[in-house]
Amino acid sequence: MPSEPPASRARREFLRRSLVAAPALGLFGGAAALGGAHAAAPATAYAPRYFTTAEWAFVQAAVDRLIPADAEGPGALELGVAEFLDRQMDDAYGRGELWYMQGPFHPEAAPTLGYQLRFTPRELYRAGIKAVDDWCGRQHGKPFAELAPDQRDEVLRQLEGGAIELDGVPAKAFFAQLLTNTKEGYFADPMYGGNKGMGSWKMIGFPGARADFMDWSEQPGKPYPLGPVSIKGARA
């Protein structure tokens, strides 16, 4: 088997840095906490509820590059993160129902001042995806989802660094939203549509919603011997 390329190792390292907060966030907070009304139903093929065909292609292509599958574990696409994102856009979180959405809006304000855009999450995705696809069309002659993997990686890097000027949407804010929700979907309880089969929990040895695992919290470096349990009681 060929060795893992440096870009893939870098993306896996970003996952490792996320492990301190993301498991708890996926279980009890973030987007998933507002999405209980749309618990995942078993299905062999998922039809998006909110995203259009072009948007759905973008989301799948983006999450696949943010958390790719490798020898250490499954990727975001395999674990249903795109489905998680679509379900959240069609729920209270995506509609910003619990957010304060009155002006004035200051997009260039410091991050410590909180969210400053006029978009709800679903509006940000709709505007951001179109803006990125339009930019890719001008630069490469095709939308983001049709670019080669290394080209998609480069576009994502430029979005993260704010090096791309998008029409009507701050590039860094859109990337930050996409990255945050991708990590949430990867580590969230499976009832929200992502983390199929508790694949990310098995990869990192996270116990999930087990009632008691305190005996193991004081044994650093020792592998947790029991598989994870979901909120609904499923075991892996």
Alpha carbon separation from 61 to 27, 105, 151 (Å, rounded): 25, 31, 11
Is residue 208 included in any domain, yes or no? no
Give per-residue pLDDT as tens, 171-202.
999 999 999 999 999 999 999 999 999 999 99
Is residue 207 included in any domain, yes or no? no
Print the domain residue range for 188. 6-201
* Residue 111 neighbours by CB under 8 Å, 6+ apart: none
Is residue 97 included in any domain, yes or no? yes
Is residue 218 included in any domain, yes or no? no
pTM for this entry: 0.81
Give per-residue pLDDT as tens, 6-30.
555 554 555 555 554 444 343 334 5
Is residue 77 included in any domain, yes or no? yes
Structural domains in the chain (count): 1
